[in-house]
């Protein structure tokens, strides 16, 4: 009996060695990358199937900026709402909180 283990997996290729400054987190972790898809056979990448488009990707916060689009956007699976602030203590909060984790006040 023979088992075939294969598939297509993404690989991130850095196009620039020097990082840029991320507009969201302010760290020097913004790199120009390209996400290529490779055919794998028994977990060994054999050859590229699809060459991706170049984007700028922050390694710290996951911010992805398209080279054709000047507006930054979050990767899939993350909430795209802007962060809010607590009316009592003024601290920045992630979306979805019903109570402030710093002072305990209800946000509704």
* pLDDT tens digit sequence for 20-32: 888 888 889 999 9
pLDDT-above-90 percentage for the chain: 27
Q: Is the pLDDT of residue 52 over 50?
A: yes
- Same-domain check for residues 51 and 14: yes
Q: Identify whether 82 is part of a domain.
A: yes
Q: Identify whether 1 is part of a domain.
A: no
Q: Are 88 and 101 in contact (CB under 8 A)?
A: no
| Per-residue pLDDT, 70 | 53
Number of structural domains the chain divides into? 2
- Same-domain check for residues 57 and 87: no
Q: Identify whether 69 is part of a domain.
A: yes
Dist. CA 75–CA 46, nearest whole Å: 27
Q: Are 37 and 49 in contact (CB under 8 A)?
A: yes
Which pTM does this prediction carry? 0.53
- Same-domain check for residues 89 and 100: yes
Over the stretch 60-95, which tens digit does the pLDDT of each residue have?
A: 888 888 877 655 445 444 444 445 778 877 778 777
| Torsion angle (degrees, nearest 10) of CA 95, 26, 33, 73 | 30
Q: Are 8 and 40 in contact (CB under 8 A)?
A: yes
- Same-domain check for residues 86 and 54: no
Full domain range(s) for residue 56:
6-76
- Same-domain check for residues 67 and 22: yes
């Amino acid at each position: 009996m023979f088992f075939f283990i294969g598939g297509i997996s993404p690989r991130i290729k850095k196009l620039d060695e020097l990082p840029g400054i991320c507009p969201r987190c302010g760290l020097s972790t913004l790199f120009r990358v390209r996400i290529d898809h490779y055919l794998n056979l028994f977990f060994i990448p054999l050859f590229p199937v699809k060459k991706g488009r170049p984007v700028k990707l922050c390694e710290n916060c996951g911010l992805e900026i398209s080279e054709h689009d000047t507006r930054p956007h979050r990767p899939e699976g993350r909430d795209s709402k802007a962060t809010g602030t607590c009316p009592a203590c003024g601290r920045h909060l992630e979306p979805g909180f019903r109570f402030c984790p710093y002072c305990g006040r209800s946000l509704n």
